[in-house]
Amino acid sequence: MPLLPLFFMIGLIALKESLWLVTVCSIILVLRSWSMSTYSVLSLVGLTVVFLLSMKTEQPIAPITVIDILDAKQNGDRIRYLAEFQNKQIVVAATLDEKTDRDYERIGQRCEVELEERPVLPRVNLGGFDEARWMRVEQLQGKYDVARWGECSETPGFEANGRRIRQQWMTRIEQLPIKQALYVEALVLGEDRLMDQMTMERFKKFGLLHAIVISGSHIAFLIVTMLWLLKKLRLTRERRFEFLLLTLPLYGWLTEWSAPVTRAVCVAMVLLFCHRINRRPDPLLVVGSIGALQLAVSYTYLYDVGFQLTVGLTIFLLLSRKMWETIKRPWNWLLISLWAQIMTSLVLQLAQQTEVSLWSPLLNLIVGGWIEWVILPLSFLVSAAVLIPSSDNLVHLHGQATSFLDQVLAGAENLPVPTVAVHLFSLPVFLVVTGTVFAGWWLAEHKWYGHLVPLVGLLVASIYMDQQTPEQITFLDVGQGDSTIIEKAGETFVIDTGGAFSLSIRPPLRPFDPGGQIVAPFLNTRGETHIEGLVVTHADHDHIGGLLGVLRKIQVDTIYMGQFDNQDPKRHALIEQIEATGTKIEYIRSGQQIRPWLKVLAPAASEEEENDRSVVLLADIAGKRVLLTGDASIDQEETWSVQRVDILKAGHHGSKTSTGEQLLQKTDPNLIIISAGRNNRYGHPHAEVLERTRNRTVMRTDQSGMITCSATGCEPMLK
């Protein structure tokens, strides 16, 4: 009965979205929790009405000339604004000029603009970012670049005033040391614009991201603290509750009413109101009803990982109290943390995030407790101190607390087996694992070994998926660069790691790193945190730029480099960085075989042009001969001893200086793969190459995303 509204809304949305399996499961849960009470009927009717009223008919956006700036995030020389136009929210990006340090003063402003529309991409790599899904969940109606700014003035209205006040507050907070400002903004205002890549990766790796966003526990801490202070001021119990009921919406207003804040504040206000009138509501009913109402107002929250985790884990903890009642502290805390990690892993499978840490349950207790009981209260005090002058001792104490947290996270990275990768499950396997987890939950309420059932289920499923992995070669979409993954004979080889070119004069806090953000996550979906080999074809940044990002997340037995490509300073610097990780380096040349199925065709000698020193490989994968040519030129192609192949990866991303007519005639490939970035500044693939390959089958990563070739053929990610 308490979760009937939530089950009903999930089923209604699943029916609208044609999620038939979810629809069937929701109908079963609705029928099992059905009650003919007046409350049940009225709540379901009300939710249906809200849901229908919130449905918006998609209309084309008129030409945009004026926008209201709602929020902003700067990264290097680029700044991304969340803006509003005719009650529709859009994403607007701009490049900062050399004199601008931060361009946040436009928040709360109405500006004249000239915009250029940019394409929105779906997920193009397994484990990669799905921009289209993100924009749909956030209900963003378009993506644009600013061609020209016009006049700006203050946006009128109560909400715009709140944004300006919030921005002024954050400006003062950002005068603190950056790491302290990061935690204060994240914990007090729910803002992550100062989050650097290393900190983000550490929190994500150990399943701790929930600890540095505003959640129910943060709101609970704020409420408990306020009740204590108000009691010291000798306010009566009734006045204390009334004061909080009036001020909590103000806190939601200052934090921009994000989905987690809205949910936490609404749940807290309902519970406070009930306590004010001496009622004790069922927390499960409150959480379920608020979650259902959020879905009714904005159905795309159903796809939001944050919504799934916060609502799902809260409900799980409320429903599973029987498991913890008979277990003494702190062991019950550790079990709760373990089960939360298991449930989180299931949700992240849906988002294609499969990296988990065996240390997460313990770290959630230690690090989570340190954040909740030390850094969070200090952050609230410091956030007030930046407005009201106070002793520097408070800021110093906060700095020591955050520094200790960073040291603990850095130390956790050196623990044995800091992370493992759980294979991305197929739908049937995912359903079996989910059933196993819930069976273990039921059993754990009666028998101690029920706690082991989910772990065994996840382990067996991952091993099974490993055994089912076909022999294949995958050409990742890393933008303007190369990265190829070969899986054969139980081994995994990576050829190049991509790289991103940047003209930014300011180092970005979260730079785009294809190695850490595309290659490593893809390997994680294959259940890999350790691979046998990584081949660096040559030292161009678009081939090696992601190498260190891969090495931070993936253990590599051996890195292979061209025998004659170790002569320039940038290669020497790279070798020093690799050696610092303890990874073995082996130099190769034509005639060698890395594996019986992976032969080296080049380089044969030291060439003046760096591209001509590229490692060229001939691979035998899934019954197909595959030629991987690096960036070698046509002159080099004519020297290779190679016959017909099934798949040819075009040289130098489709440059006219590679993939010559002689090579095409000699190899006569059934398929040509071109790895190039969308709208790249080099004009790749060149028109001459497209003309040479006009009568052949060509697949391009800039059009098809990731391309996977196995014994059954080649499949693009985008179809």
Rounded Cα gap, residues 423 and 413, in angstroms: 21
DSSP per-residue letters across 177-233: -HHHHHHHIIIII---TT--HHHHHHHHHTT-GGGGS--HHHHHHHHHHHHHHHHHT
Cα angle, residue 202 at apex, residues 506 and 93 outer, rounded to 5°: 35
pLDDT at 582: 86
- 447-476 in b/e form (b: 16+ CB < 10 A) is eeebbebbbebbeebbeebeeeeebbbbbb
Question: What is the bridge-based pairing of β-strands 109-117 and 66-75?
Answer: antiparallel
Distance CA 652, CA 273 (A): 66
Distance from C-alpha of 422 to C-alpha of 529, rounded to nearest angstrom = 9
* Tens digit of each residue's pLDDT (9 = 90 or more) over 606-632: 877 888 889 999 999 999 999 999 999
Pairing type for strands 647-649 and 671-674 reads parallel
Alpha carbons 134 and 137: distance in angstroms, whole number: 5
Q: How many CB atoms lie within 10 A of CB 96?
A: 17
Which strand (E) or helix (H) includes residue 264? helix 259-276
Query: Which residues are within 8 A (CB) of 70 and not within 5 positions of it... i.e. 6 or more apart?
Result: 81, 82, 83, 84, 89, 107, 163, 256
pLDDT in tens, 684-701: 999 999 999 998 999 999
Average pLDDT, the chain: 90
| Cα–Cα nearest to 273, from 309, 304, 242 | 242
Q: Inform me whether the pLDDT recorded for 316 exceeds 80.
A: yes
Task: Determine how β-strand 707-710 pairs with β-strand 472-475.
Answer: antiparallel
Share of the chain above pLDDT 70, in %: 98
Give one DSSP letter per residue of 370-400, joined into a string: HIIIIIHHHHHHHHHHTTS---HHHHHHHHH
Backbone angles phi, psi at 531, to 5 degrees: -125, 160
Average pLDDT over residues 345-373: 90
Measure the CA–CA gap between 222 and 384, rounded to whole angstroms. 13
DSSP state of 603: -
pLDDT tens, position by position, 557-583: 999 999 886 666 777 888 888 888 889
Identify the burial level of 507 via C-beta atoms within 10 angstroms of its C-beta, where 0-12 means exposed, 13-18 middle and 19 or more buried: exposed
Which residues make beta-bridge pairs with 80?
73, 93
Q: What pLDDT, in 10s, does the model give residues 217-230?
A: 788 888 888 888 88
Among 349, 528, 344, 348, smallest CA distance to 425 is for 349
For 233-287, write each residue's pLDDT tens digit.
Answer: 888 888 888 899 988 888 888 787 877 888 888 988 998 899 888 888 888 889 9
Q: What is the pLDDT of residues 25-72, one digit of tens each?
A: 999 988 888 877 887 888 899 999 999 988 876 666 778 999 999 999
**Each residue's pLDDT tens digit, 90-101:** 999 999 887 777
* Cβ-based neighbours of 476, under 8 Å, separated by 6 or more: 125, 483, 484, 485, 498, 518, 519, 522, 701, 706
Tokens 């490989």 label which residue? 617
**What is the predicted pLDDT for the residue at 485?**
97
CA 209 to CA 351: how far, in whole Å? Answer: 15
CA dihedral 454, 458, 463, 468 (to 10 degrees): 120
Alpha carbons 482 and 701: distance in angstroms, whole number: 10
Write out the two tokens for 143: 């993506």
Q: Model confidence at 497, in pLDDT bands (50, 70, 90)?
A: very high
Query: Which SS3 state, helix, strand or coil, does residue 3 take?
Result: coil
pLDDT at residue 566 in the model: 60
pLDDT of 196 strictly over 70: yes
Structure tokens of 384? 């007030």
Structure tokens at 21: 């399996």
**Distance (Å, rounded) from C-alpha 358 to C-alpha 362?**
9
Neighbours of 680 (CB within 10 A): 17
% pLDDT > 90, the chain: 55
Alpha-carbon 490 to chain mean position: 28
User: How far apart, in Å, are the Cα atoms of 72 and each of 130, 174, 681?
Assistant: 20, 14, 27
The structure tokens listed for 655 are 């440059």
> How high is the pLDDT of residue 390?
65
Eight-state DSSP code of residue 518: I
* Better-predicted residue by pLDDT, 349 or 59: 349
pLDDT at 469: 84
**So what's the pLDDT on residue 567?**
65
CA distances from 148 to 94, 144, 335, 414 (A): 9, 12, 56, 48
Residues 6+ apart with CB under 8 A from 659: 629, 634, 637, 648, 650, 651, 652, 672, 689, 692, 693
Question: Mean per-residue pLDDT for 295-314?
Answer: 89
Q: Which amino acid is at 664?
A: L
Six token digits for residue 97: 């000029």
The 10 Å Cβ neighbour count of residue 197 is: 17
Per-residue pLDDT, averaged over 368-381, amounts to: 90
pLDDT score for 426: 92
Contact 310, 215 (CB under 8 A): yes
**CA 509 centroid distance within chain:** 16
Task: With beta carbons less than 8 A apart as the criterion, state whether 593 and 443 touch.
Answer: no
Q: How many helices (H) and strands (E) does the chain have?
A: 28, 22
Query: CA 369, CA 346: separation in Å to the nearest integer?
Result: 24
Separation of CA 228 from chain center: 38
Examine the pLDDT at 108 and tell me if it is beyond 90: yes
pLDDT grade for 307, boundaries at 50, 70 and 90: confident
Question: Could you count the other beta carbons within 10 Å of the beta carbon of residue 32?
Answer: 11
Give the C-alpha separation, 664 to 649, whole Å: 11
Strand order in the sheet with 671-674: 593-595, 598-602, 616-621, 624-628, 647-649, 671-674, 697-700
| Other CB atoms within 10 A of residue 423 CB | 23
Q: For residues 311 and 221, what is the distance between their CA atoms, to the nearest angstrom?
A: 19
- Burial-class residue 154 by CB neighbours within 10 Å (0-12, 13-18, 19+): exposed
Closest of 461, 445, 444 to residue 453, by C-alpha? 444
pLDDT band, very low/low/confident/very high, at 385 (cuts 50, 70, 90):
confident
SS3 at position 146: strand
Whether the pLDDT of residue 468 is over 70: the answer is yes
pLDDT band at 433 (very low <50, low <70, confident <90, very high): very high
CA gap 153, 169 in Å, rounded: 20
Q: Which run of H or E residues covers position 295?
A: helix 283-297
Mean pLDDT of the region 107-127: 93
Question: How far from chain centre, in Å, is Cα 258?
Answer: 18
Domains of the chain are: 4-54 (no CATH), 66-156 (2.40.50), 185-416 (no CATH), 469-503+512-711 (3.60.15.10)
Residues 6+ positions from 671 with CB-CB distance below 8 Å: 646, 647, 648, 696, 697, 698, 699, 709, 714
